[in-house]
Amino acid sequence: MTFDELGLEPKILQAVTESGYTTPTPIQIAAIPEALKGRDILGIAQTGTGKTAGFTLPMIQRLARGRAKARMPRSLVLAPTRELAAQVSENFEKYGKYHKLSMALLIGGVSFGDQDAKLTRGVDVLVATPGRLLDHFERGRLLLSGIEVMVVDEADRMLDMGFIPDIERIFKLTPMKRQTLFFSATMPPEIQRLTDTFLKDPVRIEVAKQATTAETITQRIVRIPGKDDKLKRSALRQLLEMDGVRNGILFCNRKSTVDVVTKSLQKHGLNARPIHGDLAQAFRTETLNKFRSGDIKFLVASDVAARGLDIPDVSHVFNYDVPFHSEDYVHRIGRTGRAGREGEAFMLVTPQDTKALDAILKTIGRKEIEELELSGLDEKVQSTAKKTPPRRHETTTRPQDNEERRPRGKKSSPVKSATTPKAQKSKDEPIVGLGDHVPAFLTRT
């Protein structure tokens, strides 16, 4: 099947063709015709299957007729992260370039004034993260009573980030007569309850088993024999320097680990840069653009970059840390092997990660993942053990231990006995406090 058979207008088809796409993905084949009919959709597909275009294209066609009013957007797309929201807006610009549709992107880290100016002029498409959207609403700068189409992208990620109460509130601010599209890679019970409440007779589209990994991705694990972080970083560098590693995204569980790993890689001459939630939005945007263009070879990321980022040509994904949640493994490695391309994913596993690894295997429906042995790891463990001397319990003699202990509750007199000999100080002994030069006023009773 081609895009011509999905019922899209010629202008949209022209934009799709100029973007280099000729064959729609399964989720697009199933979702686009139903969306054009105005049906509510519950789309479940593994990451990297083209969900964004699955709702962007029919929205552009529907919004082509009509005009936006000031502060009353006609459509709303909710995304969990700034990066994903920015990516959705880029899709609207790319596929809607032959339509005169106005758009606003409401995300944190950007001036309220610039966003408010666009809302005042009126927008056809509003792409936002839940927090910033509600900020504008509470300031009285935004009305959601004119929403015709509402999209919730990466709904399960919304759940992980604690946005479900905000999503419920936003739903209640929109009209009852609206078209709603839900897209997600997994469908936990909390999300199912949300769809049962706010979607009307939705078309359920499931083009892949929930929480499955693409067949185009080769998965391997590397066993790390110990807790030593230096050994773990050494193993990571061996993987990054393998033949065929054109570029890669490295995932860590914590922001602090992202910074440590990035500095280590840069110290060893590798072209790496961090991205996580504590960094300024301008820096994050610049980092992603440079990674896409090839100016940066390795992107060291927290899970803020695990879902939804459309970077088509990522050759490798490296899990420096085994993810806390098994579903995150699916989203992480989904950054490679996209759009039918082949990719490779590696995960460093320590003895403490056994339970987390078992959970991942259960989630993806596999009994095991191929293991790769790196040369020299065991020898490095032994050499590290030889260099590190065993700890000894040293006995420290404190001055008061050699003196007669005073009864509890009694304080010693600050006046020294005249018969007490003055302690002789060596030249190398540091002076404590004021030394022998005590001002006279301090000695007055």
Does residue 43 share a domain with residue 190? yes
Q: Could you tell me if 224 and 124 lie in one domain? A: no
- 256 and 222, same structural domain? yes
Last residue of a domain, one of 206, 226, 259: 206
Q: Give me the helix-helix angle, 82-95 and 10-18, nearest 10°.
A: 120
pLDDT value of position 63: 95
Residues 40 and 172 in one domain: yes
Q: What's the residue count for the chain?
A: 445
Q: Taking the CB of residue 93, how many other CB atoms lie within 10 A of it?
A: 13
**CB distance 127 to 91 below 8 Å:** no
Measured distance CA(143)–CA(136) in Å, rounded: 9
Please check whether residues 7 and 118 belong to one and the same domain.
Answer: yes
Average pLDDT over residues 194-199: 94
Residues 345-369: pLDDT tens digits? Answer: 999 999 999 999 999 999 888 888 9
**Do 225 and 371 fall into the same domain?**
yes
Q: Let me know if residue 413 belongs to a domain.
A: no
10 Å CB burial of residue 300 (0-12, 13-18, 19+) is buried
Average pLDDT value for residue range 317-344: 88
- Asked whether residue 306 carries a pLDDT value surpassing 70, the answer given is no
Distance CA 83, CA 302 (A): 13
252, 344: one domain = yes
CATH at residue 55: 3.40.50.300
User: How far is Cα 83 from Cα 308, in angstroms, rounded to an integer?
Assistant: 8
Instruction: Count up the domains in the chain and report the number.
Output: 2
Strand partners, 248: 298, 316
- Is the same domain home to 226 and 141? no
Residue 421 domain-assigned (yes or no): no
Based on the fold, state whether residues 174 and 263 are members of the same structural domain: no
Q: Which of 387, 412, 437 is the last residue of a domain?
A: 387
Claim to verify: residue 166 and residue 221 sit in the same structural domain: no
The pLDDT tens digits for 63-78 are 998 888 999 999 999 9
pLDDT in tens, 375-387: 777 655 555 445 5
- Collapse the DSSP code of 163 into the 3-class scheme (helix H, G, I; strand E, B; otherwise coil) and give the result: coil
Domain assignment present for 251:
yes
- The domain containing residue 230 runs over which residues? 217-387
Please give the model's pTM, rounded to 2 decimal places.
0.68
Instruction: With respect to residue 270, please indicate whether it lies within any of the assigned structural domains.
Output: yes
